[in-house]
Structure 1
Amino acid sequence: MARPLRFRYSPQSWSEQRVRREILQPLRSNIGARAVSPQFDVNGGWETHRFEMQNGDVALFARRDDEAYWMGNTETPSALWKTDKYGWREIPYHVSRWAQRELLADLHDGDPWLADYPHLSWYFLPVFMSKDGRESTRAFFREHAAGFPDAGRREATRFFEEFLSTGTLDEYRHVMSGKLGTSDHVDRVRMSAAMGEFVAAKVLVDAGYDVVPEIEVTTGHSLDFRATDDETNVLVEVTRPQPPANRAAAGPVAAVRDTAETKTNGQLAEHGGGATLFVDCSSFRDDAWAAVRDERPDVRHRPAVVYRARPNGRVEGYSKGSVPLELADAIEFVD
């Protein structure tokens, strides 16, 4: 499975003739590539190339002096096999900006409705245009409302657009967008769990905390977030129970208990305590959440917060134990 899109860097000189010989011709022979004019201009003295394949793949190449950058959701020409890979923030701005404009135009040509959500389009571009995941990741938003039940694609996508447009997670775009994955099929459970981390980040930010994802701890694991303010420094781990209809557990209360127990007996047990567990029930329909809300089951880890978000921004939940976070501005507590 290919990873989210990154750039390959070649510290060599590339002439027009070399581009045609070592990039275009091999791609043309293997997958029917053709060279087309880029859709956008670039500054900074770069010469740019765009290659389109018969199977819908696209590749971009920018060169100047003694260096060049390649990006594509297609096979990599052998001349670039041993080159190093870099993220979007690690390469010259002009190249990154040009590639971004090219791929966003392709994305919105294929899925015009996403053009109404520019920040989300940009944020998930590395997976929305990836080699293996470009169909499945878009379909997850388009056909499965990004994991929200009983919701339309637009209201669900707007929920994440409004949060991402704050720029809170921009610095962590590669690692966070990559959580959605680049599988060639829609894995609704796994993808919903990934979006649960964005819901958790929104809850923390709405409550007034700064968040940093993927915090390495001494056990060799990573916990999902560190939430901080002037007086707070708390580690948060997120789990998202599957909707009861999708699992063997007898009902929503059991689903919450079993999923939290798995997390508690695994990653959190090895960590040795000190983390707050977020149990995100946003995949639950109204009746399933009502059962959990009314019973408020223990989740065998304290402190813990159990909640459900809806696309309109409302978050309802309850807590167990002494939670070291002030979340009243983000969650309507029922206990």
Structure 2
Amino acid sequence: MSLLFHGGDLQSASAIYGRKPNDWVDLSTGINQHSYPVPTIDTNAWHQLPYVDPALTKAAGSYYGEHPCLASSGSQSVIQLLPFILHQLGSQKATWIPNVGYQEHRQAWSQQGDVRTYSGLDSQLAAQQIDAALHDNELGHLVIINPNNPTGETFNPQQMRSWAQKLHAIDGFLVVDEAFIDTTMTASLLTEKLADNIVILRSVGKFFGLAGIRLGFTFAAQTVLNSLAREIGPWSVNGPAQKVAIAALNDTLWQTNMRTQLANEAMTQLSLWQHSMTQLGADLAASHELFRSFVMPPDLAQRLHLNAAKNGILLRPVDINSGTSLLRFGNVDLSHSRTLEHCQRWIQQESP
């Protein structure tokens, strides 16, 4: 069983392992190590009430596409509210979510009704399970994490639009969490006009490396956005966060260069761990530009997690079932030679 509920919780890790929060190599998240350079923030952003700046809406349209959207303080608050809202607007039947993935989805939907799961490790099997549930009239709403964090599984847009069309006939919604899709933007459902029963969640925290500003966008039909806005209330995105996001979303040169850099680093990031993990009996489950995951027995995952923590390296173990766990490795800062050497030294110690 993993000791940390969320990745990046350095305070809890420090309390458990007796290490200062700034004395960790934190590989427990999929947040970009090369964060967007924060611009100087005008003092008005600190003094004025943070109504949504029209420049933020314009920047979001430029980056994500021209769709109705709502800015919020990250995706988390929206994830917690969507089950209540979508049950009010649509089907009362069971919601299907991946059995492995960001668990706040399961937590939120479980409080509103029946939740059932499909495979988060095998997208082909998952598609079969979803199709069967639709055929047997057992599916009310469908939640997809695309790409899945931490398994890396993906679904193609055509498949998801087909499911949305079938769900529409039964008043169901398709919710797609695209927090990690920024490195492959063409795979997003936002490349085309959204059906009225599709809800897309996007995060500024992962690709831009700006998790601390707590900003995300929800794209959906206006009726859904209006309901969300009423529940969230006014001033949900602070002024400084808006100013930083406007700069980041408009900086197409930085975005292009960063996608190239992450793609170029991907094989090096994987090679740091793959040989040793394979020797230890683990299998590669995901190789995303911002993280890689390995499937292994639970006792091995816990041993590696514990030994890494004792060496000041924080990893993210994920329990799948009684016989299988997954260990996720975020990106190492390759430009920091001491950090790189530290990680290499630890994994060499673990190699048989």
> TM-score when scaled to structure 2?
0.27
Task: Look at both structures and tell me which one has the larger radius of gyration over its CA atoms.
Answer: 1
Q: Which has the higher strand share?
A: 1
Looking at both structures, which has the greater relative contact order when contacts are Cα pairs under 8 Å and sequence separation is at least 6?
2
